[in-house]
Amino acid sequence: MERMTTAAALAALAGDEGARYKALFGHGSLEVGVYRPPGIDPQQPHTRDELYVVIAGRGQFVNGDTRRPFEPGEVLFVAAGVEHRFEDFTPDFAAWVFFYGPAGGECPA
């Protein structure tokens, strides 16, 4: 895959009924996916570093001990193993997700 539109990514996720996350592409340690939880974000800490790019929606992002508002177009980094989640988000919330690097993260604490 060299190209993926937001519309195509969201359509792929919608085609996987009940899924919150859909992996779309991988290369080396990189995994690209789309995330759209319905109402509640139940995710647990991940073993690799990750970036979110907010496609749509607004709400609050909890990253470790920090809670901040987010909006479309924002890039959010989460280090491997850190508790994080989206809260109080609008129904249209969706984000690109980029997992990368080794288990434990590139720069473990």
23-41 confidence digits (pLDDT tens): 999 999 999 999 999 989 9
Tokens of 17: 């009924």
- The answer to whether residue 1 is domain-embedded is no
Per-residue pLDDT of 37-76, as tens digits, reads 998 999 999 999 999 999 999 999 999 999 999 999 999 9
Assigned domain for 74 exists: yes
Q: Which contiguous run of DSSP H or E holds residue 30?
A: strand 30-35
CATH number at residue 38: 2.60.120.10
Average model confidence (pLDDT) across the chain: 95
Does the pLDDT of residue 81 top 90, yes or no? yes
The answer to the question of residue 68 being in a domain is yes
Which residues form the domain of 72? 6-99
**What pLDDT band is residue 17 in, cutting at 50, 70 and 90?**
confident
What is the pLDDT at residue 14? 92
Does 40 fall in a domain?
yes
Q: Number of structural domains, the chain?
A: 1
Q: Which of 101, 96, 95 is CA-nearest to residue 81?
A: 101
